[in-house]
Amino acid sequence: MPRLFIGLELPAAQAQALVPLAEPGPGLRWQTPAQLHLTLRFLGELSAAQTNGVQQALAALRWDGFRLQINGVGYFGSPTRPSILWAGLADTAALQRLRDRLDARLATELAPDPQRFVPHVTLARCSSGAGSPAEFLARHRQLQLPAWAVTELCLFTSEASDNGSRYRVLARYPCVLPWGDTDCATADQTPGAGH
C-alpha cells in the first residue's frame, strides 16, 4: 500500500537550479529534480475511507495563493551524523497559515501530527558515512532562488523503488485566488460544498 502525503510541487526552474548542489560524496543519496517537493503533512498508509475523507477535506479547504522563495541550506540530525541535507525557505508565514488551516481541516479525519512543521525541501538523504555537513553548509549558505507563486496543493503517493522513493500526484487542489489578487475569501467551505 503506498504512503500518502500532502505537499507542494517545486517548479521546474527551481528544481533545476538545485541540481548543482548535488556533489558526489560518501553516504549521500541526492534527490533527482523529479523528487524535489515540499511536504506540508505526511499521512502515511491510509484506508480507502480515510483517503476519501482526506480528499473531501482538501476539496473543502479555501486558501489564498502566496509566494515562496528557497533561501539557505541546513540539515537534520547531528553535526557529525546528519540524516538529511535540505534547502530552506524565506518568509514562511503564509505557508505556516496554510499548514495550520490544513491541520484544522484534517482534525476530524486523522490524529494530530506529532512532528513539528519545519518547512524545507529535502536535497539529500545521508547514511552513516556522510560525515559532517559543515563544508556543504559553508559552500551554499548564501543560496537564494527566485520566488514562485504557490497556487495549488497536491496529494501525493510515495512508493519505494531501487532508486529511492517515487512520488506521483494523486490529486490537485487549487487556491481560491492566485497570489496578487486582493479580494480573496479566506473562510473555509463547509464539507461537501464543492470547490
Active site residues: 37, 120
Q: Sheet containing 37-44: which strands, arranged edge to edge?
A: 37-44, 3-9, 152-159, 166-174
Residue 144: DSSP 8-state: B
Residue 83, CA distances (Å) to 122, 123, 155, 158 in order: 10, 11, 25, 19
DSSP 154-173: EEEEEE--TTS-EEEEEEEE
Biggest alpha carbon–alpha carbon distance for the chain? 52
